[in-house]
Amino acid sequence: MQSDFDFFRQWYPLSPIEDINPKCPTTVVILGLRLVIWKSKSSKAYQVFLDQCPHRLAPLSEGRVDEKTGNLMCSYHGWQFDSQGVCTYIPQAEDPEIITRNQKNFCAVTFPVRQQNDLLWVWPDARSAEQAATTPLPLSPQVDASKGFVWDSFVRDLEYDWQTLVENVADPSHVPFAHHKVQGIREQGVPIPINIEKSTVNLIEAVIERSSGRTTITFEPPCRLEYAINVGSGKQLGIVTYCIPVSPGRSRIVAQFPINFAKTIYSLLPRWLEHIIIRNPLLDGDMILLHQQERFFQQKKLVESWKTAYKLPTSADRLVIEFRNWFEKYCNGDLPWNEVGISFLQNSNINDSRTVLLDRYKQHTQHCSSCRGALRLIQRLQVVLLAYYAITISGVAILPDPLRVKLGLTLIITALLSLAAYTWLKFWLVPKFYFVDYVHAQK
């Protein structure tokens, strides 16, 4: 059955621009399409190609930007492509005119791109560039400096499907329980009066009215799911999430967190520190719950509808119900994996490896320029601290007796402090870039 909603003819953010390495082609997957992000040294704009060289389908993400031409070079046979995807050089060509005569056939597949609100956007349908040019980006009205907002951006790959991600973000009632002592506490779990104000194929709007203020939740399919939280006296904070379908059972979240008050305090917290003490723990708290919930749901769907598989009796469930109705009505309850040649077989096997499900390095650190940079700096500092300890202890041992009596104690104390700092970095801080187990029973 033909879906009423076209997932490919939409704008999606791939990554915060500050997290993309401009010197090295970067691969990213969306809707089962493996893409490559790259930028010529002479250009300020990034390009997004299908990650396949037209010669023999080698990954262009393993290529390099040629120093002389500024073009993307395939590392398999050296074919080069300019920013428009046009093949400009084939080292093996006996007749250079062969490139001109076969220009269309030798092109890399290019996708429409835009850079706005600190994000790199892609339109993952190369055949509808004209439509992309006239389609607005799903931007948040809160990510706007002219309105007094500041914000931070965050990206992480997730071990569960796009529909599970949307469903989870659309459910504020899980927060005090799944994120106990990270964002809220269990004792704060109360009824949440969600009311659906609008529901169409292109937009769902819900509101929560409380004495503390009004919260508006907006879902602009397929990816923007946003909270605008008014806390009184004109103060507002937001949670702007973009839910990206990657492949069956995997998704990516690109998030921005705008705020129009306490901006000085907000700016003082280093981005990498915010990620390891707030953003990553939040997603850790969901990961195992949602990975397993998704597998159980897939088993249930083989024999019954979501309407009976789920028990949704409260007003806090209304937005989840509305999303599920939307997904069933306009998308037939499925993502278009078959359109990219992916045969989606129900995978109900649960991955019990917590180190895989909660692998912060693979899912976030390697994608985040701030966390990568902080980790490199910390690792260098560890070498310095350990070297200082070893050199100082050895040095004290060979000092002449008068100097040892005069300086020995002070030097040994500084050496021990250096060792203590090294130990703290190694066993407390560094692991937060790689893996931190999240056991709800111990929270």
pLDDT of 134-191, one tens digit each? 999 999 999 999 999 999 999 999 999 999 999 999 999 999 999 999 999 999 999 9
Output the pLDDT for position 407.
Answer: 87
Of the pLDDT bands very low, low, confident and very high (cuts 50, 70, 90), residue 36 is very high
> What are the C-alpha distances in Å from 215 to residues 226, 237, 242?
10, 10, 18
pLDDT digits (tens, 9 = 90+) for 285-335: 999 999 999 999 999 998 999 999 999 999 999 999 999 999 999 999 999
Output the pLDDT for position 405.
Answer: 80
> What are the C-alpha distances in Å from 60 to residues 26, 33, 73, 269?
9, 13, 7, 37
Of the pLDDT bands very low, low, confident and very high (cuts 50, 70, 90), residue 347 is low
Q: Percent of the chain at pLDDT above 70?
A: 98
pLDDT digits (tens, 9 = 90+) for 66-77: 999 999 999 999
Output the pLDDT for position 103.
Answer: 86
Output the pLDDT for position 198.
Answer: 97
Mean pLDDT over residues 394-401, rounded? 88
The residue type at 153 = S
Q: Percent of the chain at pLDDT above 90?
A: 86
Mean pLDDT over residues 243-266, rounded? 94
Is 346's pLDDT higher than 70?
Answer: no
Q: Do 149 and 280 touch, CB atoms closer than 8 A?
A: no
pLDDT digits (tens, 9 = 90+) for 237-250: 999 999 999 999 99
Output phi, psi for 50, to 5 deg. Answer: -65, 135
Mean pLDDT over residues 419-443, rounded? 97
pLDDT digits (tens, 9 = 90+) for 39-80: 988 888 999 999 999 999 999 999 999 999 999 999 999 999
Mean pLDDT over residues 243-264, rounded? 95
3 state DSSP class of 394: helix
d(CA 432, CA 75): 35
Is 344's pLDDT higher than 80?
Answer: no
Mean pLDDT of the chain: 95
Of the pLDDT bands very low, low, confident and very high (cuts 50, 70, 90), residue 1 is low
Interior/surface letters 192-205, b for 16+ CB within 10 angstroms, e for the rest:
bebeeeebeeeebb
Is 434's pLDDT higher than 90?
Answer: yes
